[in-house]
Structure 1
């Protein structure tokens, strides 16, 4: 810890003259989209010439190789679907006559030629057959190269890599392992620049702001880095400082990404199963929100208020006198990572119980609060000495509109009650199906998938097999991920990864069921029983009450309160 020497304050302490930094209200800071557009315009005006073109080429080069690697790695799934499609088209052509058969054969010949070219390219790029024992080493080599390229490209692409590191449904396991290191192995920037930012933002010399501050950062992340310090009043704090020139860098990168997305939109095949434009807009809003530390501090206060009655959940205190848009000072917390199983057991803390507490907090966030921590990776979660679960880093949060939340609650109840047919309807309502398709044609496929996988524990799931099975469905049917689910899915996939480490026997639905029952009862009471009669009881068209649902709700209430 570097103890700061006392001296004369040469800078004005703050604009308001009381020694505190001015902090705007949440309302002043709630226009991330507008801020993003201004930053992008400034970045394009400031960056021009050979250096800008060279950066754009590097971005295209890295993302192009990433896309090619993923395409070739998953090509067998596409090829199997193409083969089944060809067989079906041949059968249909035979029923229409010889000319149709000839046209079908010609099309299939073109597909076979393309298949041969792709397999030759894969053999040359992967330096051998894909099924060889060297495949894992090849994947690790690719993953290391890609990770280093993302780090070299800077904050925007480190963020993208962190997001990809949670997507076991998209990437090979070797990529996941390598990209996960982006959470806590990002190179730091110089402490001299960090100290200059602190003095400029707080409007006072470093020794006036903090009695002590460490010379080296504790951790470096994509957008900033953290120092341990001590206030003059004695409190130990963590000080997060934003990287220099961040808005300009990210603004330019997003402009390049928008150009790529517009180019992809001209080829619908590339965007069949993802709303790339919507996802990029969501990413842009989120990352500009995350760059505003005042907003992050307000998010932390809101999260703390939401969990005020949960003694097992803790959010560090924000020191507003030392917080601005680019510097955030909060209470310093010591604890153990949720995935450090040995350390937890040494402290007689059950990793299984920690994992189940974490899941319950997310059920509350998603289904009750409509406000959730969108980045629950292990670096942002600590188990404190007294066993409480501490949440950090509220820069990336999600908000769920009431209508969407109501549909999600419906889907959640249907999952808990194993109402498979209703769950298929929920997917359609939530727009996981592209518009213009008849839901009834794919309802049997959805119901079969849910029936097969709904009751499995994490340890029983063969994720490679499930990924291929889902990929077959995605290619064969008009599914896509709606943009408003981008960060919900990110959070859930990250939680799943933590669950795999801490409790392979974990069954999400067994853990969720008691909370679901409590949620039903709380919602019914809070909405003056309107939901009780209109939704939970579901009156039939002739006015009769479904008494079996009344009985089920009564049993839920009895079991819930007797269990306490």
Structure 2
């Protein structure tokens, strides 16, 4: 074990040196010095671009490609964060390719047999030796199961987990150095961002997670006649191996040559966009990278999403904010757009709101008079991101991932149909979500949730008082409850708590009565629900009583 630790430390030190070497090679030696790393004496600084013809974003892309798969993945993730990086950097980072040379079939065979146990011929009749595709994490082979089913096998690249783990540890250490030595970088939370990236990478390395993602999508779309999700063969799946149903169909780029099947490209574009909106606004679970290479169109016109290694999850709050943002853009409501961006912001410092609103208004003015169908969502959202970056507003990663997915699926739609518009598809979903927000069921749930939160807060008061008392004891601060004036404070505290509880009861009566009247539940009194009317009357009396009580004390 001790020998293993020495070996690990040696390899990590060697990798550190290699990374520093590459940083300096591409002209980023000043960053190495700035974070406090001292290079050995006699270290030669090579410069890949002595003539200065390459732009900084181009050099970064070349550097990430040279550093290997973990850094390429980081670059791909950063390409989805226009709130963190300028447009020219995003444009170059999008060019990062994850295609690498395939590994030998004998290695693939060894991985299959180790993971699934025994000879692979016990499970597969045949496996194609030539891979269908190869990437940094793994590669895909076509095969046939013993029962005759055609499948594809995704096999994890041997040794990739060790490489990724070592690189992630180095990235985290570098992020800590950046936070320590470059104070202006703290606003972007580099350590937090790398920890988030590391978590995503660990999940992507575990193919069983991708299998669970596929099963969840399959369940979500089981009643949708326009979408098909491939089956996972769990008997031939493990952490390093994923076996899926083989799908026959066409890539987006092949649809023109598939005209003999009478496939309606406009309908496919609309169905794909609707599927994306369902994932976002209904399921809260979406394919995070729906680019043309991850979409297959079956001969019957059904859309098949593939590669579920990266998915996004959004909670109810984020869904509401996306709906608000969409409606704000559709209605060209400057204040709503600004409010949404600020509400979800993770920034510690507040921007100049008036200037920000002027910039958003200027952006929307460029679309004034245009029909919704004539507005390009990708261009508009990218310009919103430019404003976000300008005012250093840091958005949650799942929010930017979601907007990036919307932009990507619009690109697919435009490739299929030049006058396709994602806003037209999103509008009914966003409006439906907003309608649900004001439904009796939603209001009732919100009222119950609010009352529970108030109850929790009230329950904390004795604990807080006891904590204060204990601290005064520890600090030898004596409070004499017999001291003149002290008892008066206690009495006033009791009154305050009683009024708070009384106010909550009145509020609960008003909310409950409103819901009963809106739900139109009998028995009725002059065509109004009797319980609702009675609740309002009781709440009115109690409210007047509370106001009179407050006025008598002379304190509002």
TM above 0.5: yes
Number of the residue aligned with 1:216? 130
Alignment equivalent of 1:269, drawn from 179, 184, 188:
184
Number of the residue aligned with 1:238? 152
Check 1:153–1:302 CA distance in 2 against 1; reply closer, same or farther (3 A cut).
same
What secondary structure does 1:328 align onto? strand
CA distance in 2, matches of 1:464, 1:374: 19
1:435-454 paired onto structure 2 within 5 Å:
435-437=349-351, 439-440=353-354, 442-452=356-366
Check 1:472–1:375 CA distance in 2 against 1; reply closer, same or farther (3 A cut).
closer
Check 1:255–1:440 CA distance in 2 against 1; reply closer, same or farther (3 A cut).
same
Whether 2:87 is the aligned partner of 1:170: answer yes
Check 1:366–1:466 CA distance in 2 against 1; reply closer, same or farther (3 A cut).
closer
Whether 2:283 is the aligned partner of 1:369: answer yes
Number of the residue aligned with 2:429? 515
TM-score by length of 1: 0.65
Check 1:417–1:442 CA distance in 2 against 1; reply closer, same or farther (3 A cut).
closer
* Greater relative contact order (CA < 8 Å, ≥ 6 in sequence): 1
Check 1:447–1:282 CA distance in 2 against 1; reply closer, same or farther (3 A cut).
farther
Number of the residue aligned with 1:18? none
Once the two structures are TM-superposed, the CA of residue 516 in structure 1 deviates from its matched residue by 3.3
CA distance in 2, matches of 1:474, 1:440: 16
Once the two structures are TM-superposed, the CA of residue 334 in structure 1 deviates from its matched residue by 1.8
Once the two structures are TM-superposed, the CA of residue 65 in structure 1 deviates from its matched residue by 7.1
Once the two structures are TM-superposed, the CA of residue 223 in structure 1 deviates from its matched residue by 1.0
CA distance in 2, matches of 1:524, 1:309: 27
Once the two structures are TM-superposed, the CA of residue 149 in structure 1 deviates from its matched residue by 5.2
Number of the residue aligned with 1:474? 389
Check 1:230–1:281 CA distance in 2 against 1; reply closer, same or farther (3 A cut).
same
Measured on the aligned residues, the alpha-carbon RMSD in Å equals: 4.2
Are the equivalent residues in 1 in contact too, given 2:377–2:410 (CA < 8 A)? Answer: no
CA distance in 2, matches of 1:312, 1:188: 34
Once the two structures are TM-superposed, the CA of residue 386 in structure 1 deviates from its matched residue by 1.0
Number of the residue aligned with 1:390? 304
Once the two structures are TM-superposed, the CA of residue 211 in structure 1 deviates from its matched residue by 0.7
TM-score by length of 2: 0.66
Once the two structures are TM-superposed, the CA of residue 393 in structure 1 deviates from its matched residue by 1.7
Once the two structures are TM-superposed, the CA of residue 188 in structure 1 deviates from its matched residue by 1.2
What secondary structure does 2:230 align onto? coil
Number of the residue aligned with 1:337? 251
- Structure 1: 5+ residue runs without aligned partners? 1-41, 72-120, 128-137, 535-541, 546-564
CA distance in 2, matches of 1:45, 1:496: 51
What secondary structure does 2:429 align onto? helix
Greater C-alpha radius of gyration: 2
CA distance in 2, matches of 1:472, 1:123: 32
Number of the residue aligned with 1:53? 13
Alignment equivalent of 1:254, drawn from 168, 185, 204:
168
1:2-401 paired onto structure 2 within 5 Å:
47-49=8-10, 51-62=11-22, 125-127=51-53, 143=58, 150-163=64-77, 170-171=87-88, 175=92, 178-179=95-96, 182-183=97-98, 185-266=99-180, 267-270=182-185, 272=187, 274-340=188-254, 342-343=256-257, 345=259, 347-401=261-315
CA distance in 2, matches of 1:527, 1:420: 30
Number of the residue aligned with 1:409? 323
Number of the residue aligned with 2:485? none
CA distance in 2, matches of 1:65, 1:467: 32
CA distance in 1, matches of 2:80, 2:251: 17
Are the equivalent residues in 2 in contact too, given 1:186–1:222 (CA < 8 A)? Answer: yes
- Structure 2: 5+ residue runs without aligned partners? 32-46, 449-509, 515-556
Once the two structures are TM-superposed, the CA of residue 157 in structure 1 deviates from its matched residue by 2.2
Once the two structures are TM-superposed, the CA of residue 194 in structure 1 deviates from its matched residue by 1.1
Are the equivalent residues in 1 in contact too, given 2:61–2:93 (CA < 8 A)? Answer: no
